Homo-oligomer: A and B are copies of this chain.
């Protein structure tokens, strides 16, 4: 495919004008049931309403009304970037409406857009916290003001709406006026500046793609290239690396600094590289991502190990108990992986998307959809404090999932991700359809030469590894299914009952399919032990248990004696056995340690040369999916469990 000036008004959040793979839009792929349908249903019926209700209650939506009425300088609620939360909610609503029209939601969406649009100023600028008499001047705090960051999220919402059959929506027109304003302010000849928090970069590319406006893509390119010159003022604690402003993107070797900033920026750089055909930039992004995955990523797919500054740590510095692993950073990781998957078709990117969505993202919402984790530890050392469903949470840590935060980027990010998650499951190319993720899916699409592909996928995934693909319509094409890394060499497949050879990372089948043809892929989801590279010091001598794409964890509520939690060791001599949604493992409870150090004095002790480095009573315990943890009240938790000697 080649660069085109045509607007790309179908498809999901990311529709590159050229790539190896073409993402399917909500009109081409639909989640019809099962695990992910339940999540989307929860989003549609609970999370969207939860976000809207909270933001009405605490005045974040009201900021727009006051802005329109000229009263916001006297009374603005929340920190300076709360506009973006409203925009992420609008994006979520727009995707949800595109997925499944609903008159009541349509009305809520339109009413909210009208309130936002009313706050736009005549020159296109739209921000409730800057620029009016009594407020700080526009662009007077590029480091922390988040103005362009907010604009980016407005653009993403407009893209969602435009790609859901409403290219002339009020929000789309609002976005266009705002983008034109930014171009005048920051384009060639304008301010030589960038925003402290990236987001405008991928957003401008996508708005440009959706509206066929190459100017917006060019503006994104300028923002990407301007970064790395140390123009953003640093503070006592935030250096240039925090902002990704330390090194030009082409020279960087790894993602660093604030993890969400890093991921969003990297996604934008990938977009610019693809649209401008800049292979050098794309290679830089790929290398940085490769190193980030290899050395700076938790088993769950989470990224960002420092609470301080919500930053990446050094290579291999991945402490489970101080994992920050912000929900938004995990979503940013999916954004980067998805762009590279479309560009390279390398299933490793789909592997990471699967791992990250199922573990690092889905751990955020409580099972009832009314509370969220912001930071996502892999080891809960102390019982968390309870939260109250009507209390705004100051902190993103040390408590159970909270209904809303003073900085509340994660809930709306989860909402927009769930509403559009179907976009990440399948793609098409010139010769067929590729399945990257598994769920109950109905696919109906046309290849460029007019061939029609109509398929249904049914599966008990992620708990069950059987994936059944049924052909609904005769057609000659290539059907591709990813073999996840954890099942490579352990997968089996049949076509209409006849065994098929399966090896490598993809099952690829080209043939003239007939209606009723049935492909069955059996992935090995039996629970398994996993060890970390030795370089990851923080988990030396421990193992994790995974089951298919799910990272499991041990919660103290599942031990016969919760008080023994800190003394259990896992017996790796016996394979874990499956339970309904997790696995059962054999544990050994160490004795004595507790009383020795207990509440006593100096805890470290002499080890005589030649004596074994020290490593009870056996019990079994059930592990549950990491994403499900802390749904039964406060509990201690471990992903990495010390191994018995």
Interface of A with B (CB < 8 Å)? 234-237, 239, 290-291, 293-295, 297, 299, 306-308, 313-317, 319-322, 348, 351-352, 379, 381-382, 394-395, 406-407, 485-486, 528-538, 540-544, 566-567, 572-576, 590, 593, 596-611, 613-614, 642-643
CB proximity of A546 to chain B, nearest CB, Å: 9
Name the residue of chain B whose CB is nearest to the CB of A645: B613
Name the residue of chain B whose CB is nearest to the CB of A310: B308
User: What is the CA–CA distance of A236 and B352 in the complex, to the nearest angstrom?
Assistant: 32
CB proximity of A605 to chain B, nearest CB, Å: 6
Please state if A606 and B528 are interface contacts (CB–CB under 8 Å): yes
> Which residues of B are found within 8 Å of A607, using beta-carbon distances?
528-531, 543, 572
CB proximity of A638 to chain B, nearest CB, Å: 9
CB proximity of A275 to chain B, nearest CB, Å: 26
> Which residues of B are found within 8 Å of A566, using beta-carbon distances?
316, 535
Name the residue of chain B whose CB is nearest to the CB of A406: B236
12 new A-B contacts at CB < 8 Å, known A319-B319, A572-B613: A236-B407, A295-B597, A306-B308, A315-B381, A317-B322, A348-B602, A529-B609, A530-B606, A530-B607, A535-B597, A541-B541, A541-B613
User: What is the CA–CA distance of A14 and B606 in the complex, to the nearest angstrom?
Assistant: 33
Q: Which of the residues B234, B236, B610, B642 comes within 8 Å of A540, measured between beta carbons?
A: B642
Please state if A530 and B605 are interface contacts (CB–CB under 8 Å): yes
| 7 closest cross-chain pairs (CB), A and B | A575-B609, A541-B541, A307-B308, A314-B381, A533-B597, A540-B541, A308-B308
> Which residues of B are found within 8 Å of A609, using beta-carbon distances?
529, 572-576
Please state if A601 and B538 are interface contacts (CB–CB under 8 Å): no
29 pairs from A and B in contact (CB 8 Å cutoff) = A234-B394, A236-B406, A237-B395, A293-B601, A308-B308, A314-B321, A314-B381, A317-B381, A321-B537, A486-B606, A528-B606, A528-B607, A529-B606, A529-B607, A529-B608, A531-B613, A531-B614, A533-B605, A534-B593, A534-B614, A534-B642, A535-B566, A540-B541, A540-B642, A541-B541, A543-B613, A544-B604, A572-B607, A613-B643
Q: Please state the number of chain copies in the assembly.
A: 2
CB proximity of A328 to chain B, nearest CB, Å: 16
Name the residue of chain B whose CB is nearest to the CB of A574: B609
User: What is the CA–CA distance of A598 and B237 in the complex, to the nearest angstrom?
Assistant: 31
> Which residues of B are found within 8 Å of A538, using beta-carbon distances?
319, 321, 537-538
User: What is the CA–CA distance of A567 and B308 in the complex, to the nearest angstrom?
Assistant: 28
User: What is the CA–CA distance of A533 and B573 in the complex, to the nearest angstrom?
Assistant: 24
Assess A602 versus B382: contact at CB under 8 Å? Given A609-B574, A642-B540: no
> Which residues of B are found within 8 Å of A295, using beta-carbon distances?
597, 603
CB proximity of A528 to chain B, nearest CB, Å: 6
Please state if A322 and B321 are interface contacts (CB–CB under 8 Å): no
User: What is the CA–CA distance of A598 and B295 in the complex, to the nearest angstrom?
Assistant: 9
CB proximity of A198 to chain B, nearest CB, Å: 22
Please state if A599 and B534 are interface contacts (CB–CB under 8 Å): no
Assess A533 versus B604: contact at CB under 8 Å? Given A609-B574, A613-B541: yes
Q: Which of the residues B236, B379, B395, B529 comes within 8 Å of A394, measured between beta carbons?
A: B236
> Which residues of B are found within 8 Å of A601, using beta-carbon distances?
290, 293-294, 348
Name the residue of chain B whose CB is nearest to the CB of A382: B314
CB proximity of A547 to chain B, nearest CB, Å: 12
> Which residues of B are found within 8 Å of A321, using beta-carbon distances?
313-314, 317, 319, 537-538
Please state if B381 and A293 are interface contacts (CB–CB under 8 Å): no
> Which residues of B are found within 8 Å of A575, using beta-carbon distances?
609
User: What is the CA–CA distance of A605 and B528 in the complex, to the nearest angstrom?
Assistant: 10
CB proximity of A49 to chain B, nearest CB, Å: 26
Name the residue of chain B whose CB is nearest to the CB of A320: B537
CB proximity of A581 to chain B, nearest CB, Å: 21
> Which residues of B are found within 8 Å of A237, using beta-carbon distances?
395
Q: Which of the residues B313, B407, B542, B610 comes within 8 Å of A573, measured between beta carbons?
A: B610
> Which residues of B are found within 8 Å of A573, using beta-carbon distances?
609-610
User: What is the CA–CA distance of A544 and B610 in the complex, to the nearest angstrom?
Assistant: 15
User: What is the CA–CA distance of A313 and B538 in the complex, to the nearest angstrom?
Assistant: 15
> Which residues of B are found within 8 Å of A293, using beta-carbon distances?
601-603
User: What is the CA–CA distance of A546 and B642 in the complex, to the nearest angstrom?
Assistant: 26
User: What is the CA–CA distance of A598 and B291 in the complex, to the nearest angstrom?
Assistant: 9
User: What is the CA–CA distance of A263 and B604 in the complex, to the nearest angstrom?
Assistant: 21
Please state if B602 and A532 are interface contacts (CB–CB under 8 Å): no
> Which residues of B are found within 8 Å of A643, using beta-carbon distances?
613
> Which residues of B are found within 8 Å of A567, using beta-carbon distances?
534
Please state if A599 and B291 are interface contacts (CB–CB under 8 Å): yes
User: What is the CA–CA distance of A597 and B291 in the complex, to the nearest angstrom?
Assistant: 10
> Which residues of B are found within 8 Å of A395, using beta-carbon distances?
236-237, 239
Assess A294 versus B381: contact at CB under 8 Å? Given A534-B614, A534-B642, A538-B319: no
User: What is the CA–CA distance of A497 and B590 in the complex, to the nearest angstrom?
Assistant: 48
CB proximity of A644 to chain B, nearest CB, Å: 9
Please state if A315 and B537 are interface contacts (CB–CB under 8 Å): no
CB proximity of A152 to chain B, nearest CB, Å: 23
Name the residue of chain B whose CB is nearest to the CB of A638: B537
